[in-house]
Amino acid sequence: MSAPVNVAAWLLARNLERSPAKAAYLCGDDILTHAALVADAARFANLLRARGLGPGDRVVLVLPDSFAAVKAFLGAMLLAAAPVPVSAQLAQADYAFILEDCGAKALVTWEDSSAALAARGSATVSCVLACSLHGPWGLADHPSEFEAVPPPEDLPGFMLYSSGSTGRPKGVVHRQEDLLVPAAGWGGEVLGVSGADVIFSASKLSFAYGLASSLGLTLVAGATAVLLPGKPGPYELFATLSRHRPTLFFCVPTLYNMMLRAYEPGAADMDIASLRLCFSAGEALPEGLCREWMRATGVEILDGIGSTEAMNVFICNRPGQVRCGASGVVVPGYEARLVDDAGAPVPGGTPGNLHVRGVGIATGYWSRPEKTREAMLPDGWLATGDVCVREGGVFSHRGRSDDMLKVGAHWVSPVQVEEGVRTHPAVLDCAVAGGAVEGLVRPCAHVVLRPDFEAGPGLATEILRHARHALPPQMCPVRVLFHDDLPKTPTGKVQRFRLRQLNGGEGIAHGQEC
């Protein structure tokens, strides 16, 4: 697909021509048609220009998934400004950091939000637009036509902030045309997305996974997307699935697990019969959860690996060929390799650092040249930071490179340890991180229990004993620590660096060593 001069203008014009009265987005009882989206995106571009914005200016969007979020993103792109969608669930200090880091000139958010409070101390933000779920106040006062601005090659088309699973988030710079990439190999050849599909993503528009599915896949195919403004708990997700009857559902393993525990087959408000496929990304889908989901619901779930830097999924399972516990094969349009820390290829069946190459890779990290050089390698390769194993062309995710543990002479994947611990009937969720035991790094299991079980030394010992039977010796955790919740990013990724920092301290109910 050749890139148009202005991606937003091309997407809007294409859908206006083929189906102006069709619903582009559904949100609660409200419908946003393609014709209305075209008009309001133009109004938004005119509003930004009237407030002094121009090409390349960063426009931070702190909004729930809503019509306003889509209009604002596309309107900023029409002006060739760079929309920067950010989670609506962050603290004021996080917004202050992002506004300063990207040098934002404008902020679009709701009145009195934490982001609006953070903008008061910003040296760069000159425009704050108070916004409802439908758009900023005064939007209707601006013209519904706008001549799109070609995006300058040396300025960002849009930016996303990494989810911060290993610390402070980084601004990831993309070209406008990168928004089109998910609709090709992943959306087209793998998922077969068409104009007949209704798409629902639990992952928000402020994250690459949600933006790719709810905006990229949706608008390129001329499909309809469902937006959920609130926090996506299991009952809210089931209610939305029952109400809007989507055909494709995009979610993360943490929420799939919560939904599975809440699922009551046959319940009127848990009708998922419309789904033809479920997709999981954000972190590895545990083998047991994969099998249990398909058994309970009868709907295939495809696991995949993608990244904010790629703005796409580049490895995934295929419909009709699901291998639970494996991430799948390379998506058309990409190539992948596994290398050791020196950059040499690793043999099959050996864990290695995952590098990918293909369309849509980010141009770099905003104002972080050293990090850019570390990740964006010569010849177009991206060092993803993921550790995988490849056997017969099929990739299996083993964790992040920063999370791998060296136990004796063995590299240990926290993902594999977690899967072994989760097979204990008392364990609802588990995350594994390294901890110092007598001066050596050993796996420590951080466990959330099911409601019917009580934390205590006896149960910790039982879980450790169970793990010794389920795992090789080097993978067995030496300590169990109980938590009410695990520290996670807004996308559902476990922040293992925070677990390492705990080291037996705050938030732990009971611990037990062997």
**DSSP codes, 359-379:** TT--SEETT-HHHHHHHB-GG
25 strand-pairing partners? 32, 225
Task: Rounding to the nearest 10 degrees, give the CA dihedral for residues 319, 321, 322, 323.
Answer: -160
pLDDT at residue 498 in the model: 83
pLDDT at residue 282 in the model: 86
Domains, the chain, ranges and CATH?
A: 7-391 (3.40.50.12780), 404-513 (3.30.300.30)
pLDDT at residue 406 in the model: 67
Which residues of the chain, if any, have pLDDT below 50? 1, 165, 504-514
Rounded distance, CA 367 to CA 18, Å? 41
40 strand-pairing partners? none
Provide the 3-class DSSP secondary structure of residue 514.
coil
For residue 346, the Cα-to-chain-centroid distance in whole angstroms is 28
Rounded distance, CA 96 to CA 115, Å? 7
pLDDT at residue 218 in the model: 98
Would you say 279 and 306 are in contact if contact means Cβ atoms under 8 Å apart? Answer: no
Ramachandran area for residue 213 (φ above 0: left; ψ -120 to 50: alpha; else beta): alpha
Strand blocks (E) in 180-247 = 198-201, 224-226
pLDDT at residue 507 in the model: 34
DSSP result, 67-106? HHHHHHHHHHHHTT-EEEEE-TT--HHHHHHHHHHHT-SE
399 strand-pairing partners? 387
Rounded distance, CA 421 to CA 163, Å? 26
Rounded distance, CA 151 to CA 6, Å? 7
